[in-house]
C-alpha cells in the first residue's frame, strides 16, 4: 500500500507541526514539571479543528479519515506527548457522541466539544475491569425517563477538569444487572451531575500535563435521551472507539519517538568524545540505523491499520491491535536508545529524553495492554489462519 502523502495531507501535517512547535513544545517541560492542564492551549487547538478531526462535519467536526487524523496526531505528539494524547481522547469521546447520539444529544454537546469550549473524558476502566471491558460493574438502573448510575471508574484522563463524560455501564432492572457484553450501554453525562465525585489527582510517571482521577457515581441521574445507541450496544460502541483509540495511541507514540530521534541526531553530531563527534563511532551509527528503521516500520504499520479502518476492512480490529502493539513497543525502544546515546545528559531534565521515555511508556498499557493485543492477534489467527489474515 502506498503511503505517499498528498498535498492536502501535507498541509494538515504542516499545520499540526507548526502548532506543536509554537504552542506545545515550548511549554511541554513546564507542564510536565508542574502538572498543568493547558485548557487555554486546548481551546486554541479547538479553534483550528484539532479537537474534532474525525467527527462528522454535521456535528461540527472536520470529518477527516482516520489516516489523516493519525498523521496529524503524530505531528502534534512531537511537541508534547501528554497533551497530544489527551487531544486524541477528547477526539474519540466526541466522535462517539456524534456517531451514536440522537439529534438532541448531538445538538446539546457536540458544538462546544468540537471547539474545545468544553472537554470530554472517556470512562471505561474500572478497579476490576481494565482490559476485560465486558466485566465492568458500574450499573445504570432504569428509573422513569432515565437511569441511575452507580459504580466507580479508574484512571480516567482529564477527570475532574473535563465537562463531559462518556460512560460505559451495565444496565440493571428488577432482575439485577444484565450479564455479559450485551448488558453494557453507553451514556454521555455532564461532569457536574449531582452524585458524581472525583478522587485525588494521581501522581504518575508521565502524562503529567493531563490529570488522571477516579470517578465515583452514586445515584447520578442521566436522562434516557443521553444514551448512545440502543440498550445493550455500549460494548460494541466501546470496541469501535477502541479500534480508533489504538491507532491514536500508536501514532502519538511514533511522534514521540520521532522527536527523540531528531534530538539524538543533533546531539551525536555535536557531542565530542576521544577527539571526534560520537556520531562518528560505528556503534552510534548502528544504533541510529536501527532506530530509524524501527520507527519507519512502526509508522507504516500504523498507517496501514488506519487505512484498513477507513476502508471498513473485515479485520480492521486485528490490524489496529497489531499496530498498537508493534508501534508502542518500538517507540519505547527508540526513546530508550535515544536516552542511552545521550549518556548522563539523557537522564536529567535539562534534556527532553527522560520525559519522552516517561510519557511514552504508558502507551504500552493504554487502550488494552500490549499483552491483550497479543491475545487478540493470536485468537484471530487461530480462528482464520495466518494466510487468510495477513495480506
Q: How far apart are alpha carbons 308 and 246 in whole angstroms?
A: 13
**Set of cell numbers at residue 186:** 453507553
Q: What is the pLDDT of residue 71?
A: 98
Domains of the chain: 7-114 (1.10.540.10), 120-230 (2.40.110.10), 235-389 (1.20.140.10)
Q: How far apart are alpha carbons 384 and 391 in whole angstroms?
A: 13
Q: How far apart are alpha carbons 20 and 38 in whole angstroms?
A: 13
Active-site annotation holds for 4? no
**Set of cell numbers at residue 182:** 450485551
On the 0-12 / 13-18 / 19+ scale of CB atoms within 10 A, 88 is buried
Q: How far apart are alpha carbons 360 and 336 in whole angstroms?
A: 10
Choose the catalytic residue: 78, 287, 354, 367: 367
pLDDT along the chain (391 residues), means of 10: 81 97 98 98 98 97 97 98 98 98 97 98 89 83 96 97 97 85 93 98 97 98 97 92 96 98 94 84 95 98 97 95 98 98 95 97 96 94 77 67
- Residue 13, H or E segment: helix 7-19
CA atoms within 13 Å, Cβ hemisphere of 227? 23
Q: What is the pLDDT of residue 150?
A: 97
Torsion angles phi and psi, residue 118, rounded to 5: -125, 160
Q: What is the pLDDT of residue 41?
A: 98
Q: Name the E strands within the chain.
A: 120-123, 139-143, 146-157, 164-173, 176-177, 184-190, 196-198, 212-223, 227-228, 272-273, 276-277
Beta-ladder partners of 168: 186
Which residue bears the cell 556503534? 283
Q: How far apart are alpha carbons 32 and 37 in whole angstroms?
A: 9
Q: How far apart are alpha carbons 250 and 60 in whole angstroms?
A: 26
Q: What is the pLDDT of residue 19?
A: 98
Amino acid at each position: 500500500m502506498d503511503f505517499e502523502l498528498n498535498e492536502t495531507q501535507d498541509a494538515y501535517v504542516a499545520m499540526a507541526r507548526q502548532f506543536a512547535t509554537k504552542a506545545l513544545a515550548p511549554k511541554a517541560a513546564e507542564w510536565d514539571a508542574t502538572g498543568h492542564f493547558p485548557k487555554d492551549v486546548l481551546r486554541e487547538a479547538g479553534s483550528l479543528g484539532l479537537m474534532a478531526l474525525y467527527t462528522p462535519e454535521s456535528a461540527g467536526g472536520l470529518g477527516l479519515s482516520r489516516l489523516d487524523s493519525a498523521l496529524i496526531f503524530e505531528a502534534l505528539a512531537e511537541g508534547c506527548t501528554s497533551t497530544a494524547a489527551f487531544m486524541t481522547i477528547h477526539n474519540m469521546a466526541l466522535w462517539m457522541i456524534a456517531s451514536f447520539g440522537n439529534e438532541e444529544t448531538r445538538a446539546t454537546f457536540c458544538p462546544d466539544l468540537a471547539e474545545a469550549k468544553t472537554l470530554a473524558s472517556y470512562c471505561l476502566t474500572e478497579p476490576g475491569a481494565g482490559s476485560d471491558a465486558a466485566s465492568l460493574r458500574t450499573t445504570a438502573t432504569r428509573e422513569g425517563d432515565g437511569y441511575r448510575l452507580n459504580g466507580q471508574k479508574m484512571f480516567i484522563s482529564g477527570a475532574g477538569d473535563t465537562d463531559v463524560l462518556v460512560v460505559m455501564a451495565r444496565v440493571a432492572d428488577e432482575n439485577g444487572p444484565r450479564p455479559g457484553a450485551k448488558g453494557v450501554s453507553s451514556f454521555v453525562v455532564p461532569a457536574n451531575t449531582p452524585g458524581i465525585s472525583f478522587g485525588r489527582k494521581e501522581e504518575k510517571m508521565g502524562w503529567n500535563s493531563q490529570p488522571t482521577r477516579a470517578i465515583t457515581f452514586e445515584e447520578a441521574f442521566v436522562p434516557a435521551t443521553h444514551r448512545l445507541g440502543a440498550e445493550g450496544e455500549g460494548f460494541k460502541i466501546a470496541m469501535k472507539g477502541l479500534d480508533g483509540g489504538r491507532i491514536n495511541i500508536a501514532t502519538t507514540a511514533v511522534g514521540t519517538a520521532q522527536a527523540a530521534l531528531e534530538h539524538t541526531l543533533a546531539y551525536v553530531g555535536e557531542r565530542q568524545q576521544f577527539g571526534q563527534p560520537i556520531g562518528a563511532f560505528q556503534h552510534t551509527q548502528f544504533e541510529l540505523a536501527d532506530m530509524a528503521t524501527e520507527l519507519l516500520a512502526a509508522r507504516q504499520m500504523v498507517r496501514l491499520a488506519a487505512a484498513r479502518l477507513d476502508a471498513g476492512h473485515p479485520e480492521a480490529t486485528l490490524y489496529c491491535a497489531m499496530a498498537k502493539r508493534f508501534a508502542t513497543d518500538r517507540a519505547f525502544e527508540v526513546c530508550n536508545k535515544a536516552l542511552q546515546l545521550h549518556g548522563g545528559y539523557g537522564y536529567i531534565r535539562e534534556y527532553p529524553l527522560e520525559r519522552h521515555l516517561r510519557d511514552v511508556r504508558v502507551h504500552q498499557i493504554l487502550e488494552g495492554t500490549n499483552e491483550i493485543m497479543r491475545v487478540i492477534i493470536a485468537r484471530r489467527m487461530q480462528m482464520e489462519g495466518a494466510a487468510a489474515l495477513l495480506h
